[in-house]
A and B are shown apart, each in its own frame.
Chain A
């Protein structure tokens, strides 16, 4: 006889209650097996009954297995949909809608992280702050739609010119920030200069025949500053110098 397990926990007692009929059949069969009746017909009848019950139980077990698998499949798909939706939300949360670049909120986190990492490992980090020259005039003289197209084109030039490991974010209106991790100021300046030249060389007439766009860039790699915010402020200061120095230039 099978030892009845201790039913000290409620779930276990529940399961046994669920299988009450099946347990009853087993107990009955065990009684007959322990003390078989001499009447062969009675044994055959009991055996026949047991076979029926066994068949029923087997069918149930197979059904429950398949139904359980389907429920799990349904859960899995739901989970998949959910994580897909989450990923999309996360992507949207850090992306600038117009340009597809990273947004300012994401940049703030990324900059702090890059600054702390650079300091911790005594590695260089160059930050560049750039601004489209006379952007207000683009909006005024052409249209806001043209302005948006310019911002999208500048964003693409920035993204295509920097290294894959660099971060490019839209900081605000027509301001963009680039982070060059592991790059000392000379290297950062070189990329910034390439970016400036690429913007100048771009065929802006594809957007409007009379359109010409340049950008100014301020660069800083001074990690002796107190924090990431100060480093960005320094780059902004240099951008201001570039603007007052005649625009379409890189300053550090």
Chain B
């Protein structure tokens, strides 16, 4: 399976999905003109990746995102929840700057009622 690398832009985050190591990270800011256009390939890649793998760890390291992006993130999380329910070992790490209270609370909000391991992690 090929890696998925998307360079960051002013309005879209960086995607670094390494199929070989299983390191998957979405980082930066996210307010694309079309959130669907941006996140659809990401969803497709994850769905494909989950077919072959038994475990997955996805990291989010976002500083800002709009409402459409939050829906796309929820869609990704739903996809992962389903995989988790099917017996795959899925883990999500939500990284936030330790000074960024809103991003911490946002991570905690995402984590609530989530049927998979969801860690909120502060970095300096």
Contacts and interface: CB of A to CB of B under 8 A. Distances in A.
B112 A71 contact: no
Interface string B7-42: 000000000000000000000000000111100100
Contacts of A67: 67, 70, 106, 109-110
B122 to A, nearest CB: 16
Contacts of B35: 14, 18
Interface residues of B, number: 25
A14 B31 CA distance: 13
22 contacts: A14-B35, A14-B68, A17-B36, A18-B35, A18-B36, A18-B71, A18-B72, A59-B113, A63-B74, A63-B112, A64-B67, A66-B109, A67-B67, A68-B67, A70-B105, A70-B106, A71-B64, A71-B66, A71-B70, A71-B106, A73-B102, A74-B64
Nearest to A66: B109
Contacts of B5: none
Nearest to A11: B34
Interface of B: 34-37, 40, 64-68, 70-72, 74-75, 78, 100, 102-103, 105-106, 109-110, 112-113
A172 to B, nearest CB: 44
A15 interface: yes
A56 interface: yes
B109 A63 contact: yes
Interface string A45-61: 00000000000100110
A10 interface: yes
Contact of A64 (B71, B78, B113): B71
A206 B106 CA distance: 59
Contacts of A18: 35-36, 68, 71-72, 75
Given A14-B36, A63-B109, A64-B70, A56 B64 contact: no
Contacts of A64: 67, 70-71, 74
A56 B71 CA distance: 13
A175 B65 CA distance: 54
Interface in A1-33: 10-11, 14-15, 17-19, 21
Give 4 closest A-B pairs by Cβ, nearest first: A74-B102, A17-B36, A70-B102, A14-B36
Contact of B65 (A10, A14, A17, A71): A71
A138 to B, nearest CB: 49
B13 to A, nearest CB: 15
